[in-house]
Amino acid sequence: MNITLEQAEKAIQEAKAKAAEIDTKMNIAIVDGGANLVAFTRMDGAWLGSLDISIKKAKTARFFDMDTGIVGSLSQPGGPLFNIEHSNSGLITFPGGIPIKNAEGTIIGAIGVSGSSVENDHTVAEAGAKAI
């Protein structure tokens, strides 16, 4: 069960609308169930360094089927997953990556958003994930 391009485009559209609503400029990435990129959008003026971060957030969310911020809460110094970010050619473990589920609750991909505060990144990712 993989996200379709049509679903990915809808998620990006909703994420972009939310980003504009809260006056931010975002990089938005969608990966499929195999953690491979399906669609990507960089809004004009969005941070260039957030390009890679948004893709890594989407991959991280699908790699572990959870919000990236949860992984981050476990990977702090002294935490059980300290330095997990060294795996998989680099993870991003702060908020902004969210798994995408279909109507039956099966994970079919993930969205990653980067370009503002991690709170805003998460808000925009949530808007995209909910569009499916």
Residues that bind a copy of itself (CB under 8 A): 4-6, 9, 32-44, 47-53, 56, 59-60, 62-65, 72, 75-78, 80-95, 117-118
Nearest distance from residue 122's CB to a copy of itself, in Å?
Answer: 11
Q: Where are the beta strands (DSSP E) in 9-131?
A: 27-32, 37-42, 97-101, 107-114
**In the bound complex, what is the minimum distance in angstroms from residue 109's beta carbon to a copy of itself?**
11
Q: How far is the CB of 130 from a copy of itself (least distance, A)?
A: 21
In angstroms, what CA-CA distances link 70 with 47, 52, 65, 76, 115?
A: 24, 20, 10, 11, 19
The answer to whether 31 and 56 are in contact (CB under 8 A) is no
CA-atom Rg of the chain in angstroms: 13
Query: Which lies closer to a copy of itself via its Cβ, residue 80 or residue 105?
Result: 80
Residue 6 or 23: the one with the smaller Cβ distance to a copy of itself is 6
CB of 132 to a copy of itself, least distance (A): 15
Q: Using the minimum distance from each CB to a copy of itself, give the nearer residue, 40 or 102.
A: 40
> Token digits for 15?
């994420």
